[in-house]
Structure 1
């Protein structure tokens, strides 16, 4: 046993020595070899292996961008990116974070559309997010564009949004934008330009659609902040007919809209031929209520991996409040039965990695006192899109405070209608 302990100690010493060597190398790199960040940019451009310093996400990101421009065809882009990074590191805040470096990389990809010389640009503001807007307007826009469109510059995959930005910045019409994923009328295009800055580009499309169909402001916002504001763009004819049905159905409690969307969404998922023809809003609500009341999961218990978002814990005198993720269909069903809502129907979306369900619970002495809220997170957007108390009622102010603290610690966005 003693020999084994000695061996383990020796392994630990070797491991510690290796870690200290990496740290020493990084220190030498940062303090002695390169005195300016400009030197790091140049070395990455020349292909130096600085992987031991990738804990600095700026260095990792710049290296990734140069690698993406590694072919001979993109050699000119690679050099421009190097020069732009060096310039803006000295005169702006746009090399201060990974996301802003992605913006600069995207701008260089579209350098053929630059309207002015980037090397003559001087920032007015000091905040990097504001500088992104300044530089984009300087390079791409003759005309003012909606603020939400600048979000497209942070994209790592969807370059279509940047093309929309340039098109509108040139004075083009919304209806002439390429590849709009939903049927858009001229009226919808008008509202797209008026969409609030708080929306994402996808949400602005949905908001403009509802407004263009003559939907009132409250309905447009509720639909935008529901699953429909973030859904993939399929069956759009069906979902436009749903919006029209809701609009024409008369007055109803908007708090029940999410329940209705959940019901119709699930009906369409299990039956691709499901249609709204011949249905009224009142009949849909009746069917939705029955579905919510009688929904139960299959006998088999489905289990999925945690989403990676940490829970939350707050101790208050003799009570402990815990926010925990539910990762089994059985637990979702139990939650739904206790809370008298349909969270059990979300097993499919959780297993697919689209949603995560958390339960906000209060304990005392290890005994469950209360389930304060059931919470849905849209994983693609890192956004809390729903939070319901018992019987789908709004959550308490106390529960909201815990949710806000959790969202802040995990970098999540809270929907306004919770």
Structure 2
């Protein structure tokens, strides 16, 4: 077994080295062919095939953005984008990474709303993220806007957030923002523009909703960091009713909120007619406790594709720490039984590609010593949204250390409440 593992590891190292050599060769060829990055931008603008240089993600992203300006109506925008890239490559850090190039692409798409000449802008900040904020404020805003709204500039799909940024920057009211996806009152609008900068835009919407419905700060934060904040915007009347029930239900252990949401979420999924009418918070908690105690359930094994997120392995002197993805309903059930929690209920969400479940385990001599944590990743957000030890307790400091290292390696963000 050890010999096989060593052979596989050596093979993987050789493959990694070969990939790095190809990337280095492509970048070296790119530098020899082009003396200035401006020349690369010009070649991409003209439609030249520079795919040999796509190991440099900036080149790949610029090529993708130029492709987005297809059609005669976009010809002028494409030219402006080229000129913006050349200008800002020389005067800022905004062409240093693909995420900032995406922000520039979005800014050019909304150039009809520019209030000033971009080509006269000079950055004051040195960090590129701060420069994006400076540039957006310079071009779009007469008035101060919530700091979290600048996150919308990096979107690849949802341009609605940028429209909100422009609307509020022009002095518009929150209640007049178009296509707010949840029922919003004027009071919620007040909380929205004052939401903490640490939240994402979606989290800010939920935080403002809970606050507007009378929820306290701690409850608003917990719901903002829960599945409710990242779920698709549908069935909002039902979930507003759930939030109201929780807000008006009185004091309870906030650490139980995730369990309650899991229970109600599953009940609503299997029965669209499920209603909260006549239920109290106490009765919901009792039903939730009964539901959680029923896992795992027997049945046929369901298998789904891995998420693509790599696991994690640390070899110590006498122990091996392994973080592995669970891709079968049988394994989820076994995990739930061992950990005395309801991860077995996540089969549907894993099979649909919405979530990925990982198990952090400690082995010695090939024998499982301990399951340290069960971890849920929201695949759309690439975010760790839950991490639980046995009986839904918080994970240990040791487990958190390994989880944090893994998250950093895989580029995953973390829920503030883990």
Fold agreement, TM-score > 0.5: yes
1:142 and 1:169 in contact (8 A); partners too: yes
The answer for the alignment partner of 1:231 in structure 2 is 231
Q: Residues 329 and 21 from structure 1, CA distance in 2 versus in 1: closer, same or farther, beyond 3 angstroms?
A: closer
Alpha-carbon distance, 1:317 to partner: 2.5
The answer for the alignment partner of 1:79 in structure 2 is 79
Unaligned runs of 5+ in 1: 1-18
Distance 1:24 1:405 in 2: 30
The answer for the alignment partner of 1:353 in structure 2 is 353
Q: Residues 335 and 64 from structure 1, CA distance in 2 versus in 1: closer, same or farther, beyond 3 angstroms?
A: same
The answer for the alignment partner of 1:123 in structure 2 is 123
Alpha-carbon distance, 1:23 to partner: 7.5
- Show the 5 A alignment for 1:170-189: 170-189=170-189
- Show the 5 A alignment for 1:92-103: 92-103=92-103
The answer for the alignment partner of 1:58 in structure 2 is 58
Q: Residues 96 and 26 from structure 1, CA distance in 2 versus in 1: closer, same or farther, beyond 3 angstroms?
A: closer
Task: Give structure 1 regions of 4+ aligned residues with deviation exceeding 4 angstroms.
Answer: 19-26
For 2:149, what is the secondary structure of its paired residue? helix
Give me the TM-score of the superposition, normalised by structure 2. Answer: 0.93
Alpha-carbon distance, 1:251 to partner: 1.1
Offset from partner CA, 1:172-219 (integer Å, 9 cap, x none): 000000000000000000000111111110110000000111100110
The answer for the alignment partner of 2:150 in structure 1 is 150
The answer for the alignment partner of 1:255 in structure 2 is 255
Higher alpha-carbon deviation: 80-89 or 40-49: 40-49
Give me the TM-score of the superposition, normalised by structure 1. Answer: 0.93
The answer for the alignment partner of 1:294 in structure 2 is 294
Alpha-carbon distance, 1:316 to partner: 2.9
For 2:267, what is the secondary structure of its paired residue? helix
2:145 and 2:168 in contact (8 A); partners too: yes
- Show the 5 A alignment for 1:195-274: 195-274=195-274
The number of residue pairs the alignment matches comes to: 399
2:34 and 2:40 in contact (8 A); partners too: yes
Higher alpha-carbon deviation: 121-130 or 58-67: 58-67
- Confirm whether residue 407 of structure 1 aligns to residue 410 of structure 2: no
Distance 1:272 1:302 in 2: 23
The answer for the alignment partner of 1:132 in structure 2 is 132
Q: Residues 339 and 72 from structure 1, CA distance in 2 versus in 1: closer, same or farther, beyond 3 angstroms?
A: same
The answer for the alignment partner of 1:318 in structure 2 is 318
For 2:273, what is the secondary structure of its paired residue? coil
Distance 1:320 1:295 in 2: 29
Alpha-carbon distance, 1:73 to partner: 1.4
